[in-house]
Amino acid sequence: MIEIGRLSISSSEAVPFAREKLRAALVAAGIRQVAAGHAISLLSRDLRARAPLELVVLLEENNKEISLQIDASAGLIRRLILPAPLNERDIGTVSEILAFLTRDELLHDLERQVEQRTAELKKERERSERLLRNMLPDSIAARMKDNEVIADHHVASVLFIDIVGFTAFARDKSASDVVAILDRIFKAFDGVIKRHGLEKIKTIGDGYLAVAGLPHPQFDHADRAVLAGLDIVGLIPALREEIGCVVDVRVGIHSGDVLAGVIGVNKPFYDIWGDTVNVAARLEQTGTSGKVHISQEMRDKLGARFST
């Protein structure tokens, strides 16, 4: 048995082109028009149902029988007896017919490739947009899509959190254990930050940076930041019990002018700068474990709504 050709059928829309080509090939092999048409009609339903596929045309060893194979494993084979054995010239003619691409086929294949590539590009664009939205605030991602340079000034409240004792705890742990525990802690922080409407900026080792009052103004940014800090301190006892890790947190919060923008080309991220950020970091460093350390400016903003 030898293969004398195959037809690649990319979709159900391509079946008519394959049918006409196969009809011409069978007639060239000596099969009458009516018999060829009948054989192809029997194949059409399977071709449409199973596309995309390849239809293989085989010539039996005695050169007097053609097999049309869609799926040999499923028994989808049609055999046609030829009126006379095919000689080398006849075999060449049939092979050329099967291999020839008509203008309509070329146009259809080009349209199919364009549609496929368009779908791939759309899928990739959607994936890129999801990644961008996950890395950046939605409003910032939208501005970046419009090629806008992100460089803004805000009045905001910056919250720094450091996990006290985590470095010593992680020293004799495996990498997977350290990542798993840190991931659980930060997911808990993420929940608090989201609930109070803050914007998570980044994690730095076992440190966590968030801010209230940007990228959109919040008149109560100071309250939001302090409430988030208190909630994070409050969830530590339950986290200790859950992860079996004796850790605590220091929290520093300061309000004031903040610069915010997106930096970098590879792995761009939304970051904040300024004295307000530096003061919040120092407040965290000099704070007491299990406490929220705020500046006098923060204390003044809060007024009588919170007790020290």
What are the catalytic residues? 162-163, 206
Alpha helices in 100-210 (DSSP H): 103-135, 138-145, 166-170, 175-195
Supply the angle between the helices 103-135 and 138-145 in degrees, to the nearest 10. Answer: 140
User: How far lies 74's CA from each of 3, 57, 79, 86, 294, in Å?
Assistant: 19, 16, 15, 28, 74
CA distances from residue 194 to 167, 197, 198 in whole angstroms, order as listed = 26, 5, 6
Three-state secondary structure readout of 177-242? HHHHHHHHHHHHHHHHHHHCCCEEEEEECCEEEEEECCCCCCCCHHHHHHHHHHHHHHHHHHHHHH
Residue whose entry in the numeric block shows the structure tokens 């109560």:
220
d(C-alpha 254, C-alpha 287), whole Å: 13
User: Distance between CA atoms of 207 and 144, rounded to whole angstroms?
Assistant: 27
Return the biggest CA–CA distance within the chain: 105
Number of helices followed by number of strands (H, E) in the chain = 10, 10
Q: Do 102 and 78 meet the contact criterion of CB atoms below 8 Å apart?
A: no
Going by the DSSP 8-state scheme, the letter that residue 295 receives in this structure is -
* Rounded-to-integer distance, Cα 160 and Cα 158, Å: 7
